[in-house]
Amino acid sequence: MGVTDETPDTPSDAVDAALEADAVDSPLADALDPSTFDTLASHLVWRIGRANDESPVTVRVGLPSAAAAFADLPRLRTATETELREALDSGEVRVEWVSPKGRSS
């Protein structure tokens, strides 16, 4: 598959592309099972965007039980496909885990 400008169809396609591009450290890559990501993805809630034009592309992810907590966070504006690609290529993507309200992470 390699790295292309195409958006992967499934999470496992994204994992395959990252592994082929050596974007994942080798010990971790050995432990990854792409089908696990397909299963896990259906059980996650996420939002991708930027807080403002100067902020990094941010991926907020959490379990469905945390869905209400997303509303308490500062709003993210939608990032364009070009912004996402540039952030991925430069390694400047911020990932935030969102915990359910009333629980600490």
pLDDT in tens, 28-44: 555 667 777 677 777 88
Check: CB of residue 34 under 8 Å from CB of residue 63.
Answer: no
State both tokens at 29: 């890559």
Sole residue written with tokens 């939608």 = 78
When pLDDT is cut at 50, 70 and 90, the band that residue 3 belongs to is very low
Q: Which structural domains are found in the chain, ordered by start?
A: 6-43 (no CATH), 44-100 (3.10.20.570)
Q: Where are the alpha helices (DSSP H) in 1-105?
A: 11-20, 26-31, 34-41, 67-70, 81-90
Per-residue pLDDT reduced to its tens digit, 47-73: 999 998 889 999 999 888 898 999 899
- Backbone φ and ψ for 93, nearest 5 degrees, come out as -115, 130
